[in-house]
Amino acid sequence: MNSNSLFEKSLNYVPGGVHSPVRSFKGLHTTPRFMKYAKGAYIKDEEDKEYIDFCMSFGPLILGHQNPQVKQAVTAALDNGWSYGACERYSLELAEFLINKIPFINKIRFVNSGTEAVMTAIRIARGYTGKNKIIKFDGCYHGHTDAMLIKAGSGLAGTSTSSSAGVSDQVSHDTLICELGDIQKVEDIFKEHSGEIAAVFIEPLPANNGLLEQGQEYLIALRDLCKKHNALLVFDEVISGFRVAFGGMAEITGIEPDIVTYGKIIGGGFPVGAVAGKAEVMDVLAPIGDVYQAGTLSANPVAMVAGLVNLKQLTPDFYSELNQNTENILSIFSEWMNQNEFEDYDIKHSHSLFWPLPLKSPINNPNMIPSSLMERFHKLFQVLLDKGIYLSPNAYEVGFVSIAHDKKVQDDLKERLWG
Ligand SMILES: *Cc1c(COP(=O)(O)O)cnc(C)c1O
């Protein structure tokens, strides 16, 4: 069966045929490819068509598909069993490795996804501060927990409403929405809700609604405001952690959040998330403290080993090479776009994250995204798909370059674009 008929069949069994909506190719006027194999920088569909993969599982695969060291370690770990529901050394080793390398954390708890990490961070912040409200920014994504599926209300200023059906008004009431880049609004909200705000959540490099890079001064101002109002600053580094640098945006900016959440790269392609911070904050968690959190498959030994062996490869030299791969690839793409019908495009990027956008000026706020984006993107996506180049299948998702996107792949990319 080809991808089209598999997708038709899947529609009968699975809502929308997919297990995560961003896989659905919505607005792309074509059906999702069913993938059956991936290695290095390449992914192959059921029709045996091979693509250079720039989606890379939406971020985790910074080493490319099937990194040999990860594969070997995972295979070896399997020989010892794949779930104990008990203490084991794999997660201890990963925890120790991370805490030795990231200066502002000294306790960490592993969970199974980025969403779970954020959900736990919210509860820790509330438990630790004894306050209920949280601030989040329009244009940042923090997974699909109720408290984060909130947007600014359309009516009265300062009100918020859910961005998904099924989220109660009580929950949306406790999440306050600010605009990215506007520090005055954050200050106003802190004043308006004096003594009520537990935490400010931000993606320090917002990369889930396009790529909306924020200024250093802005992030510093958030840090100061949180300190002043006894609220915790939470960096959601699920996408930026281990991507822009080992220590994520916290390392790049030198700003220390009170809590950090990780996901994606931390599991090397296996389901892992983590929430970390200072012991004083983290120790509110059960069984020491009274903030409850648990997980049957948390710190799964196979996933822990994958994470550790993945993270051990992320040296300073690794990042130089990865960023060089990205520069090379983006200049190839840019040249091709200029010569073709995409000359209005500019590829926004930070380190190995990139976002093709029909807008030349810098952008740091979702309001600045051109309204033509969807229509323009579906053409770009289709042309590249036909050439065997797989972008993230959504106009608002960034692309990812891995260490496997090396010189050979770069030459192949040229071949595919102009060949
Ligand atoms: C991907 C992502 C999440 C959600 O992680 P899942 O593993 O998909 O639940 C949360 N926050 C950020 C910043 C992300 O990029």
Give me the tens of pLDDT residue by residue for the chain, a chain 419 residues long: 899 999 999 999 999 999 999 999 999 999 999 999 999 999 999 999 999 999 999 999 999 999 999 999 999 999 999 999 999 999 999 999 999 999 999 999 999 999 999 999 999 999 999 999 999 999 999 999 999 999 988 766 667 899 999 999 999 999 999 999 999 999 999 999 999 999 999 999 999 999 999 999 999 999 999 999 999 999 999 999 999 999 999 999 999 999 999 999 999 999 999 999 999 999 999 999 999 999 999 999 999 999 999 999 999 999 999 999 999 999 999 999 999 999 999 999 999 999 999 999 999 999 999 999 999 999 999 999 999 999 999 999 999 999 999 999 999 999 999 98
- Give the side-chain half-sphere CA count within 13 A for 295: 21
For residue 263, how far is its CA from the centre of ligand 1 (angstroms)?
Answer: 7
AA letter at 147:
A
Contact 248, 241 (CB under 8 A): yes
Which pLDDT score is estimated for 159? 78
Which pLDDT score is estimated for 158? 67
- The pTM score is 0.98
Q: What are phi and psi of 31, to 5 degrees?
A: -95, 155
CATH assignment of 68-312, among 3.30.450.40, 3.40.50.620, 3.40.1350.10, 3.40.640.10: 3.40.640.10
Tell me whether residue 45 is one of the annotated catalytic residues: no
| Residue 57 zone, left/alpha/beta (φ > 0; ψ -120 to 50; rest) | left
Q: Which of 290, 125, 114 is nearest to 201 (CA)?
A: 125
- C-alpha distance across the termini of the chain, in Å: 29
Contact 253, 218 (CB under 8 A): no
For residue 168, how far is its CA from the centre of ligand 1 (angstroms)?
Answer: 22
| Residue 137 zone, left/alpha/beta (φ > 0; ψ -120 to 50; rest) | beta
Residues having CB within 6 Å of any atom of ligand 1: 113-115, 118, 141-143, 203, 208, 236, 238-239, 263-264, 273
Which pLDDT score is estimated for 155? 64
CATH assignment of 3-67+315-418, among 3.90.1150.10, 3.30.1320.10, 2.60.40.420, 3.20.20.140: 3.90.1150.10
Regarding beta strands 160-162 and 107-111, do their DSSP bridges make them parallel or antiparallel, or are they unpaired? unpaired
Residue ranges per structural domain of the chain: 3-67+315-418, 68-312
Residues 60-95 have pLDDT tens digits of: 999 999 999 999 999 999 999 999 999 999 999 999
Angle (CA) 347-29-32 rounded to 5° is 85
Within its chain, how far is the Cα of 152 from the centroid?
22
Pocket test for ligand 1, best of 142, 238, 244 (most atoms within 8 A of CB): 238
Tell me whether residue 39 is one of the annotated catalytic residues: no
Tell me whether residue 390 is one of the annotated catalytic residues: no
155-164: long-range contacts at Cβ-Cβ below 8 A with a sequence spacing of 24 or more?
A: 158/189, 158/192
- Which member of 51, 90, 128, 141 is catalytic? 141
Contact 373, 355 (CB under 8 A): no
Structure tokens at 371: 């309204």
- Which member of 146, 236, 346, 412 is catalytic? 236
Describe the chain by its helix, strand, coil percentages, rounded to 5: 40, 20, 40
Which pLDDT score is estimated for 152? 87
Contact 118, 160 (CB under 8 A): no
